[in-house]
Structure 1
Amino acid sequence: MYSVRVAYSEVDKGVEKAADRSSRTLPIAHTCDGPRVCACSTKTPGFCFYLTFSAALDHSETAIYSGSVDGSEKPHGRGTLTWKSGDRFEGRFKHGEKEGKGCFYFSDGSSLGGTFSADELFGKGIYVFDDGSWQEGQYVHGELNGLVKEFDNLGNLTFTGNYVENCRHGLCTFYDPYGGTLNGVVDEEGSLTGDSITYWYPGCELGIRGKFLEGILDRGFLVEMKDKQEEEEKKGDVFERDVSTKDCISANPLLPDPYETKMVYVKVSPIAGDGLFARRDLPEDRVVSFYNGIRLTHQEVDSRDWSQNDYTISLDSETVIDIPPSCSDVAAYCASLGHKANHSFEANCKYDLFDHPRFGLIKSIRTLKRIRRDEELTVEYGYDHHGLGKNNADAPHWYKSQLK
Structure 2
Amino acid sequence: MKQLSVPSPHPAPPTPAVPGTSPSGALTSAVIPGRRVHLQPWNPLLGFVATWHLDEDGLPHGFCTVTYSSTDRFEGSFIHGEKNGRGKFFFFDGSTLEGYYVDDALQGQGIYTYEDGGVLQGIYVDGELNGPAQEYDSDSRLIFKGQYKDNIRHGVCWIYYPDGGSLVGEVNEEGEMTGEKIAYVYPDGTTALYGKFMDGEMIEGKLATLLSIEEGRPHFELVPGSSVYHFDKSTSSCISTTALLPDPYESERVYVAESLISSAGEGLFSKVAMEPNTVTSFYNGVRITHQEVDNRDWALNGNTLSLDEDTVIDVPEPYNRVSKYCASLGHKANHSFTPNCIYDTFVHPRFGPIKCIRTLRAVEAHEELTVAYGYDHSPRGKNGLEAPEWYQLELKAFQASQQK
TM over 0.5: yes
User: How do 1:290-309 residues align onto structure 2 when only pairs under 5 Å count?
Assistant: 290-309=282-301
Match of 1:218 in 2: 203
Matches of 2:210 and 2:228, distance apart in 1: 18
User: How do 1:280-359 residues align onto structure 2 when only pairs under 5 Å count?
Assistant: 280-359=272-351
| Residue among 38, 52, 63 paired with 1:78 | 63
Matches of 2:163 and 2:225, distance apart in 1: 29
Matches of 2:312 and 2:186, distance apart in 1: 24
**Cα separation, partners in 2 of 1:270 and 1:83, compared to 1, 3 Å:** same
Match of 1:278 in 2: 270
| Residue among 113, 127, 146 paired with 1:128 | 113
8 Å contact kept, 2:40–2:49: no
Cα displacement (A) at 1:398: 1.5
**Cα separation, partners in 2 of 1:303 and 1:47, compared to 1, 3 Å:** closer
Aligned partner of 2:265: which letter?
A: G
Matches of 2:107 and 2:377, distance apart in 1: 52
Match of 1:27 in 2: 17
Cα displacement (A) at 1:371: 1.2
Aligned partner of 1:343: which letter?
A: H
Q: Which has the higher contact order (CA 8 A, sep 6+)?
A: 2
TM-score, normalised via structure 1 length: 0.86
Matches of 1:115 and 1:170, distance apart in 2: 26
- Aligned to 1:398, the other structure's residue is in SS state helix
**Cα separation, partners in 2 of 1:352 and 1:140, compared to 1, 3 Å:** same
1:403 aligns with 2:389: no
1:96 aligns with 2:81: yes
8 Å contact kept, 1:30–1:49: no
Runs of 4+ in 1 over 4 A off after TM superposition: 44-53, 226-229, 385-392
Match of 1:367 in 2: 359
Cα displacement (A) at 1:33: 1.4
**Cα separation, partners in 2 of 1:182 and 1:87, compared to 1, 3 Å:** same
**Cα separation, partners in 2 of 1:236 and 1:139, compared to 1, 3 Å:** same
**Cα separation, partners in 2 of 1:204 and 1:379, compared to 1, 3 Å:** same
**Cα deviations by residue, 1:127-147 (Å, 9 ceiling, x for unpaired):** 111121110011111111110
Aligned partner of 1:215: which letter?
A: G
Query: What percentage of residue pairs aligned between the two structures are identical?
Result: 49
Matches of 2:357 and 2:377, distance apart in 1: 17
**Cα deviations by residue, 1:154-207 (Å, 9 ceiling, x for unpaired):** 101000010111111111000011111000111111110111110001021111
- Aligned to 1:21, the other structure's residue is in SS state coil
**Cα separation, partners in 2 of 1:222 and 1:90, compared to 1, 3 Å:** same
User: How do 1:4-403 residues align onto structure 2 when only pairs under 5 Å count?
Assistant: 21=12, 24-34=14-24, 64-226=49-211, 230-233=220-223, 235-271=225-261, 272-384=264-376, 392-403=384-395
8 Å contact kept, 1:80–1:90: yes
Cα displacement (A) at 1:71: 3.8
- Aligned to 1:401, the other structure's residue is in SS state helix
8 Å contact kept, 1:122–1:138: yes
Aligned partner of 1:82: which letter?
A: T
**Cα separation, partners in 2 of 1:52 and 1:349, compared to 1, 3 Å:** closer
What RMSD over aligned residues (CA atoms) do the two structures have, in Å? 2.8
Matches of 1:107 and 1:221, distance apart in 2: 46
Matches of 1:297 and 1:303, distance apart in 2: 10
8 Å contact kept, 1:384–1:390: no
Matches of 1:63 and 1:234, distance apart in 2: 67
Aligned partner of 1:87: which letter?
A: D
8 Å contact kept, 1:30–1:121: no
8 Å contact kept, 2:17–2:33: yes
Q: Which runs of 5+ in 1 are unaligned?
A: 1-18, 54-61
Number of aligned residues: 373
Match of 2:401 in 1: none
Matches of 2:72 and 2:320, distance apart in 1: 57
8 Å contact kept, 2:128–2:150: yes
Match of 2:402 in 1: none
